[in-house]
């Protein structure tokens, strides 16, 4: 029986040797679940802990190559086999079509995929078919791969509608965006300025042999990811894991304000609480109301704030229904991190590209528009509302804000990053350039309410 170390974390004792076919079965189940509309994060929760690191690593690889794999399967078998067998076959092709980047020797992968098919009731009948397809692929690899070269979904490993939208929205950057989506995202930390300066925490990491570089006002980007429990002072709230683009929100919302004032702040869609915590690190006296429509996700907010040693009022409530939660006291500042397609974070969540549908952006833009309309009256004159999404689609960014400004003459747009392409975040003030680099894609618009 072929056994392997799980590829994601061979340092852990829980990642003991397991049959590769079991990892491949679970990975194919993850691919099948994503195709059926289930998020990879949710699917991984059902994977046994001993398999999870390896299945996550293989699933990320498979989903980043699923467009190419699907195109190859269509050449090998024009009629798709049943979903479980198709997922297993496409998983195999995704993992082995590029031999230089295959996580295991291709012959090993093929043998173990066939074994996985034989060991699973839902694919036993198709095990011979899967074997025949993969053996043919190994014989005709160069020709078959060449035949997919004109297929955009195979070339870019994204749905065609997604490719078309990026071309329309970002004609100068769409290819770079698609290429970047294929690379793992860096691990970035937010240093809690109540405990450390960025430099002192960088020194603490260096003392443990971990190299990093400053990003943004409070961030450090690690050269190599490490388990969070190994970070100095993590449990004491000295540092948090947060992408550099997401770290822009709190300092942009509060820039120029006295950090010792008890500002009345609403974080309207707060879970899991990263931006809420950052607001309170910058302005410890702020009176923050953190909302999330999901009660279970509110528990995550509580956990994160408790670890940081800061306090906010956390409520499970729908931000679009203020009658159920608002006490009538207007806010000095509102952070609206609105629901979106998450098209800016596909490096971290490669399943997103396959979960989304062409109509999702328009539907979510309606939700975003309604939230802006509902929350704007809750803001004081002279107050600020920061609208942001982790999307690079203009339908969920510029389009929403320009329409809002046309309807609300009491709203002024402050200098803001706008559509922030994945790029390098400079030190110091919030990012002002949109060059490609090492952070997630976001959209930011800072609005101020004026007297009319």
Per-residue pLDDT tens digits for 313-325? 999 999 999 999 9
133, 212, 269, 390: which one is catalytic? Answer: 390
Residue 21 has pLDDT above 80, yes or no: yes
Region of poorest pLDDT, from 225-229, 358-362, 402-406, 427-431: 427-431
Region of poorest pLDDT, from 168-177, 311-320, 361-370, 419-428: 419-428
* Phi, psi at 174, each rounded to 5°: -60, -40
* Phi, psi at 177, each rounded to 5°: -65, -45
CA dihedral 240, 241, 243, 244 (to 10 degrees): 40
Axis crossing angle, helix 20-35 with helix 83-96, rounded to the nearest 10? 110
pLDDT at res. 142: 96
Q: What is the mean pLDDT of residues 23-44?
A: 97
pLDDT tens profile 243-267: 999 999 999 999 999 999 999 999 9
Segments in 65-105 forming alpha helices (H):
66-76, 83-96
**What predicted TM-score, i.e. pTM, was given to this entire model?**
0.91
Query: Is 390 designated active site?
Result: yes
Residue 292 has pLDDT above 50, yes or no: yes
| DSSP reduced 3-state for 8 | coil
pLDDT tens profile 78-95: 899 999 999 999 999 999
Q: Which two tokens stand for residue 229?
A: 């429990």
Q: What CATH fold (topology level) applies to the domain 244-449?
A: Rossmann fold (3.40.50)
Q: Which two tokens stand for residue 110?
A: 């093929």
Res. 11 pLDDT band, cuts 50 70 90: very low
Containing H/E element for 405? helix 398-407
Q: What is the mean pLDDT of the chain?
A: 92
pLDDT at res. 435: 36
What residue segments make up the domains of the chain, in order of their start? 3-151, 244-449
pLDDT tens profile 215-251: 888 999 999 999 999 999 999 999 999 999 999 999 9
Q: What is the mean pLDDT of residues 30-47?
A: 97
Q: What is the mean pLDDT of residues 340-366?
A: 97
Asked if 79 contacts 133 with a C-beta cutoff of 8 angstroms, the reply is: no
pLDDT at res. 78: 84
CATH code linked to domain 3-151 = 1.10.940.10
pLDDT tens profile 136-163: 999 999 999 999 999 999 999 999 999 9
pLDDT tens profile 53-66: 999 999 999 999 99
Block residue for tokens 């009319």: 452
| DSSP reduced 3-state for 384 | strand
Residue 338 has pLDDT above 70, yes or no: yes
Q: What is the mean pLDDT of residues 366-373?
A: 98
């Amino acid at each position: 029986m072929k056994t392997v170390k799980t590829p994601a974390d061979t340092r852990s004792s829980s990642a003991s040797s397991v049959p590769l076919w079991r990892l491949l079965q679970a990975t194919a189940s993850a691919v099948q679940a994503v195709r059926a509309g289930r998020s990879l994060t949710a699917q991984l929760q059902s994977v046994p802990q001993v398999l999870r690191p390896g299945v996550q690593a293989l699933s990320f690889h498979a989903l980043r190559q699923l467009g190419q794999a699907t195109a190859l399967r269509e050449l090998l078998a024009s009629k798709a086999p049943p979903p479980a067998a198709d997922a297993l076959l496409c998983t195999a092709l995704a993992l082995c079509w590029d031999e230089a980047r295959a996580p295991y020797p291709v012959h090993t992968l093929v043998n173990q995929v066939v074994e996985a098919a034989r060991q699973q009731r839902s694919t036993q009948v198709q095990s011979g078919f899967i074997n025949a397809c993969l053996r043919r692929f190994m014989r005709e690899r160069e020709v078959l791969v060449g035949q997919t070269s004109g297929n955009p979904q195979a070339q870019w490993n994204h749905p065609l509608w997604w490719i078309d939208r990026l071309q329309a929205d970002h004609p100068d950057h769409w290819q770079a965006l698609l290429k970047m989506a294929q690379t793992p995202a860096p691990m970035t930390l937010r240093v809690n300025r109540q405990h450390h300066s960025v430099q002192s925490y960088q020194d603490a990491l260096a003392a443990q042999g971990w190299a990093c570089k400053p990003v943004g006002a409070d961030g450090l980007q690690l050269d190599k990811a490490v388990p969070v429990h190994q970070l100095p002072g993590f449990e004491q709230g000295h540092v948090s894991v947060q992408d550099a683009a997401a770290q822009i929100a709190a300092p942009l919302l509060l820039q120029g304000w006295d950090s010792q004032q008890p500002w009345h702040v609403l974080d309207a869609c707060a879970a899991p609480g990263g931006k809420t915590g950052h607001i309170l690190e910058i302005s410890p006296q702020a009176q923050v109301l953190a909302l999330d429509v999901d009660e279970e996700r509110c528990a995550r907010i509580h956990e994160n704030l408790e670890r940081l040693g800061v306090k906010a009022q956390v409520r499970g409530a729908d931000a679009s229904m203020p009658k159920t939660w608002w006490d009538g006291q207007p806010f000095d500042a509102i952070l609206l991190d609105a629901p979106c397609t998450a098209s800016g974070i596909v490096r971290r969540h490669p399943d997103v590209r396959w979960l989304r549908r062409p109509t999702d952006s328009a539907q979510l833009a309606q939700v975003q528009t309604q939230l802006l309309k509902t929350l704007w009256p809750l803001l004081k004159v002279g107050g600020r509302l920061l609208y942001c999404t982790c999307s690079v689609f203009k339908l969920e960014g510029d389009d929403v804000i320009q329409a809002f400004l046309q309807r609300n003459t009491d709203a002024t747009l402050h200098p803001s990053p706008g559509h922030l392409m994945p790029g390098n975040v400079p030190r110091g003030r919030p990012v002002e350039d949109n060059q490609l680099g090492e952070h997630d894609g976001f959209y930011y618009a800072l609005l101020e309410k004026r007297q009319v």
